Amino acid sequence: MKKLFIAALATLSVNIAHADDYAVVDLERVVQSSIYLKQQNTSLQNTIKPQTMQIEQLQKDLNTIQEKGQAAKTAAEREKLAKDFETKAEQLAKLQQQVQNIVQNSMQNVNKTFDARLKATAEQLRLENKLDVVLNKNAVLAYEVKADLTDKMIQKVNAIK
């Protein structure tokens, strides 16, 4: 999940060929330190917990049916177990797809919100510090250590409610 945010937020990098005053921010550290992202991740895990428990149970059921099928003595028994297996497998696939959709939608919404927070905070820091640009530290080859505003960015992003 963190890599998705970092990749999506790389757009904060700007060409500074003509910038007089700049600062850098370690976006990876901002993402890792984000209270909002941690809360959203916990919320998502809680949301999908019932479905993940069902998925685990269906997987156990499929293993049990498979073991019974290998031990079955009659063709009728194997056929019934094969139908049971197919039904459970369909339920599992459907449930997995539902969970995947929930996770994807949640990640898109969280990413959109977090991206807006980052951009607003970067702009706020830029204005407060009278800077021309705020750059992603990971996209800069060299910079003055005093130009690093990562800690301020983390504080401000985490202060947004």
pLDDT beyond 80 at 21: yes
Pair of tokens at residue 105:
């939608």
Pair of tokens at residue 61:
């059921």
The one-character DSSP state at 11 is G
Closest CA to 150 of 5, 23, 25, 22: 25
Q: Which helix (H) or strand (E) holds 25?
A: strand 22-25
What angle is formed at CA 34 by the lines to CA 147 and CA 151, rounded to 5 degrees? 20
With cut-offs at 50, 70 and 90, classify the pLDDT of residue 161. Answer: confident
Q: How many CA atoms are closer than 13 Å to the CA of 44, on its beta-carbon side?
A: 19
The one-character DSSP state at 22 is E
pLDDT digits (tens, 9 = 90+) for 116-141: 999 999 999 999 999 999 999 999 88
Identify the residue whose tokens are 């706020």. 124
Segment 2-16 shows an average pLDDT of 46
pLDDT digits (tens, 9 = 90+) for 45-90: 999 999 999 999 999 999 999 999 899 899 999 999 999 999 999 9
- Stated pTM of the model: 0.76
Closest CA to 124 of 51, 26, 44, 25: 25
**Judging by beta carbons within 10 Å of its beta carbon (0-12, 13-18, 19+), is residue 112 exposed, middle or buried?**
exposed
